[in-house]
Amino acid sequence: MSCIFCRIIAGQAPAEVLYRDDRTIAFRDIHPVAPVHVLIVPIQHFDSLNSLSEEDEALAGHLLVVARRLAEELGVARSGYRLVINTGSEGGQTVFHLHLHLLAGRRMPFAGD
Ligand code: 5GP
Ligand code: ZN
Protein backbone atom coordinates (compact mmCIF):
# COMPACT_ATOMS: atom_id res chain seq x y z
CA MET A 1 0.00 0.00 0.00
CA SER A 2 1.73 3.18 -1.17
CA CYS A 3 -0.55 5.84 0.30
CA ILE A 4 0.74 6.98 3.71
CA PHE A 5 -2.74 7.88 4.98
CA CYS A 6 -4.12 4.48 3.90
CA ARG A 7 -1.24 2.90 5.84
CA ILE A 8 -2.13 4.95 8.94
CA ILE A 9 -5.80 3.91 8.55
CA ALA A 10 -4.74 0.26 8.27
CA GLY A 11 -2.60 0.56 11.40
CA GLN A 12 0.54 -0.06 9.38
CA ALA A 13 2.06 3.35 10.12
CA PRO A 14 1.99 5.23 13.44
CA ALA A 15 -0.06 8.35 14.09
CA GLU A 16 -1.45 10.23 17.08
CA VAL A 17 -5.10 9.40 16.42
CA LEU A 18 -7.63 11.72 18.10
CA TYR A 19 -10.83 10.35 16.59
CA ARG A 20 -12.03 7.46 14.48
CA ASP A 21 -15.39 6.20 13.21
CA ASP A 22 -16.50 4.00 10.31
CA ARG A 23 -15.97 6.77 7.74
CA THR A 24 -13.35 9.05 9.23
CA ILE A 25 -10.06 9.21 11.07
CA ALA A 26 -8.39 12.28 12.57
CA PHE A 27 -4.76 12.44 13.67
CA ARG A 28 -2.18 15.11 14.44
CA ASP A 29 -0.07 16.40 11.56
CA ILE A 30 3.51 15.16 11.78
CA HIS A 31 4.85 18.66 10.94
CA PRO A 32 2.41 21.03 12.68
CA VAL A 33 2.32 24.62 11.42
CA ALA A 34 0.08 25.78 14.28
CA PRO A 35 -0.32 24.78 17.96
CA VAL A 36 -3.36 22.73 16.88
CA HIS A 37 -2.87 20.97 13.54
CA VAL A 38 -5.09 17.97 12.98
CA LEU A 39 -5.83 16.13 9.73
CA ILE A 40 -9.38 14.88 9.16
CA VAL A 41 -9.30 12.08 6.65
CA PRO A 42 -11.96 9.87 5.05
CA ILE A 43 -11.32 6.14 5.50
CA GLN A 44 -12.12 5.69 1.81
CA HIS A 45 -9.24 6.75 -0.42
CA PHE A 46 -9.95 9.74 -2.67
CA ASP A 47 -6.93 11.22 -4.44
CA SER A 48 -8.19 14.74 -3.78
CA LEU A 49 -11.34 16.84 -3.62
CA ASN A 50 -11.41 16.44 -7.42
CA SER A 51 -12.41 12.79 -6.92
CA LEU A 52 -15.45 13.58 -4.77
CA SER A 53 -18.85 13.28 -6.47
CA GLU A 54 -22.50 13.88 -5.65
CA GLU A 55 -22.77 10.42 -4.04
CA ASP A 56 -20.17 11.54 -1.52
CA GLU A 57 -22.07 14.57 -0.25
CA ALA A 58 -22.99 12.91 3.05
CA LEU A 59 -19.36 11.97 3.64
CA ALA A 60 -18.22 15.51 2.80
CA GLY A 61 -20.69 16.91 5.32
CA HIS A 62 -19.60 14.35 7.90
CA LEU A 63 -15.98 15.48 7.58
CA LEU A 64 -17.09 19.04 8.42
CA VAL A 65 -19.12 17.92 11.43
CA VAL A 66 -16.17 15.86 12.72
CA ALA A 67 -13.96 18.94 12.28
CA ARG A 68 -16.39 21.10 14.24
CA ARG A 69 -16.58 18.54 17.07
CA LEU A 70 -12.78 18.24 17.24
CA ALA A 71 -12.49 22.04 17.38
CA GLU A 72 -14.78 22.00 20.41
CA GLU A 73 -12.94 19.11 22.09
CA LEU A 74 -9.58 20.77 21.50
CA GLY A 75 -10.88 23.99 23.03
CA VAL A 76 -10.54 26.24 19.99
CA ALA A 77 -14.13 26.50 18.79
CA ARG A 78 -14.64 29.91 20.39
CA SER A 79 -11.18 31.35 19.80
CA GLY A 80 -11.31 30.30 16.17
CA TYR A 81 -9.83 27.89 13.70
CA ARG A 82 -9.29 27.36 10.01
CA LEU A 83 -10.15 24.40 7.79
CA VAL A 84 -8.03 23.94 4.68
CA ILE A 85 -8.28 21.50 1.78
CA ASN A 86 -5.24 21.77 -0.48
CA THR A 87 -6.08 20.40 -3.92
CA GLY A 88 -3.51 19.59 -6.60
CA SER A 89 0.10 20.67 -6.79
CA GLU A 90 -0.57 24.40 -7.18
CA GLY A 91 -3.04 24.11 -4.32
CA GLY A 92 -0.19 22.89 -2.14
CA GLN A 93 -1.33 19.27 -1.89
CA THR A 94 1.50 16.89 -1.06
CA VAL A 95 -0.38 13.80 0.18
CA PHE A 96 -2.83 12.57 -2.45
CA HIS A 97 -5.45 11.18 -0.09
CA LEU A 98 -8.19 13.73 0.57
CA HIS A 99 -7.89 15.46 3.95
CA LEU A 100 -8.93 18.58 5.82
CA HIS A 101 -6.41 20.51 7.88
CA LEU A 102 -7.79 21.85 11.18
CA LEU A 103 -5.50 24.72 12.18
CA ALA A 104 -5.80 26.74 15.37
CA GLY A 105 -3.97 28.23 18.32
CA ARG A 106 -2.50 31.25 16.58
CA ARG A 107 -3.79 34.07 14.44
CA MET A 108 -4.03 32.96 10.82
CA PRO A 109 -2.84 35.23 8.02
CA PHE A 110 -5.07 36.21 5.13
CA ALA A 111 -6.36 33.01 3.50
CA GLY A 112 -4.59 33.66 0.20
CA ASP A 113 -1.09 33.88 1.74
P1 5GP B 1 -1.13 18.58 2.10
O2 5GP B 1 0.16 19.31 1.81
O3 5GP B 1 -1.28 17.39 1.17
O4 5GP B 1 -2.33 19.44 2.16
O5 5GP B 1 -0.98 18.03 3.57
C6 5GP B 1 -0.31 16.85 3.88
C7 5GP B 1 0.02 16.94 5.34
O8 5GP B 1 0.31 15.63 5.79
C9 5GP B 1 1.25 17.78 5.65
O10 5GP B 1 0.88 18.83 6.54
C11 5GP B 1 2.23 16.80 6.27
O12 5GP B 1 2.96 17.36 7.33
C13 5GP B 1 1.33 15.67 6.74
N14 5GP B 1 1.94 14.37 6.73
C15 5GP B 1 2.68 13.83 5.73
N16 5GP B 1 3.08 12.58 6.07
C17 5GP B 1 2.54 12.34 7.30
C18 5GP B 1 2.61 11.21 8.19
O19 5GP B 1 3.21 10.19 7.91
N20 5GP B 1 1.95 11.32 9.37
C21 5GP B 1 1.26 12.46 9.72
N22 5GP B 1 0.66 12.45 10.91
N23 5GP B 1 1.18 13.53 8.91
C24 5GP B 1 1.82 13.47 7.73
ZN1 ZN C 1 -5.00 6.66 0.76
Domain ranges for the chain: 4-104
84 CA closest ligand 1 atom index: 4
- Cβ contacts of residue 105 below 8 Å, gap of 6+? 34, 35, 36, 76, 79
* Stated pTM of the model: 0.97
Nearest Cα to Cα of residue 67 among 44, 45, 39, 93 = 39
pLDDT of residue 111: 75
pLDDT of residue 101: 98
pLDDT of residue 112: 67
Cβ–ligand 1 contact at 87 (below 6 Å): no
Which residue stretches of the chain have pLDDT < 70? 112-113
4 CA closest ligand 1 atom index: 19
CA of 95 to the centre of ligand 1 (A): 6
CA of 31 to the centre of ligand 1 (A): 7
Domain 4-104: CATH superfamily, name plus number: HIT-like (3.30.428.10)
